[in-house]
Structure 1
Amino acid sequence: RLKREGSAILAEETGKSIDFVMVVLDFGNSFSFGGDSSLPSAYLEVKNVRSLPPSVTAALSGRLCELLEDELSMSAQRIYLEFQESERHLWGWDGKTFA
């Protein structure tokens, strides 16, 4: 459900087709947040080809944290999200770039 719902949230909030949304989950890392590794924590990266205005990053932060709270019982206070914008020529797919 995390991948499916996460993909849907990203597509909806960014206005992208879900066909171009990728979600990678890696549960193999150990996290320490605020010096405490006894509680679950997460680090999310959201990378986008084009801009991510403040209204979009705020909506994504709220909805993705809510998803992790619901699915993993993880406090939003233990989740960091990093948003990155990229120019079209810096992303490749299907043997070409998006430029």
Structure 2
Amino acid sequence: MPLFRISVSSNPKKEISDAVLKEISANVASILSKPENYVQAIFQANVPILFAGTDAPSAYVEIKSIGSLNPGNCKSICNYVSTLFEDKLNINGKRIYFEFTDVAPSMWGWDQNTFG
């Protein structure tokens, strides 16, 4: 796994959100050196978000992974996603918060079992 959950205040067309998900799935797998067939990406649009006192377009991005997060690749993900969101979703990188969580294998389940 990693899990990549995106919440945005805007409501982009489905083809745009689908394209963003596909691009993120492939690139996050590469950045984290994980097989893409374990990546789950979730896109939640039209989420009410107030950031810095305004409702201008913004996003919250949650990344969870087992054992592959470090300061270097977290910065790489922030840079990559901020650029992608500015280009595809018209969300300024200064209006995006990221949360990274390194999950113990025994605390993440899949296919009737856990990873540890």
Give the TM-score range, shorter chain.
over 0.9
1:3 aligns with 2:29: no
Q: Partner of 2:8 in structure 1? A: none
Q: CA deviation at 1:70?
A: 0.9
Q: Partner of 1:35 in structure 2? A: 53
CA deviation digits over 1:15-51, x for unaligned, max 9?
Answer: 00000001100113111100001x1000000000114
User: How high is the TM-score relative to the length of structure 2?
Assistant: 0.82
Q: Partner of 1:87 in structure 2? A: 104
The runs of 5 or more residues in structure 2 that have no matched partner are 1-18
Identity of aligned residues (%): 33
The runs of 5 or more residues in structure 1 that have no matched partner are none
Q: CA deviation at 1:92?
A: 0.4
1:97 aligns with 2:104: no
Q: Which of the two has greater strand per residue?
A: 2
Q: Distance in 2 between matches of 1:82 and 1:22?
A: 16
Cα RMSD over matched residues?
0.8
Matches within 5 A, 1:28-67: 28-37=46-55, 39-67=56-84
Q: 1:12 to 1:51 in 2, by over 3 A?
A: closer
User: How high is the TM-score relative to the length of structure 1?
Assistant: 0.95
> What is the total number of aligned residue pairs between the two structures?
98
Runs of 4+ residues deviating >3 angstroms: none
**Contact 1:50/1:85 (<8 A) preserved:** yes
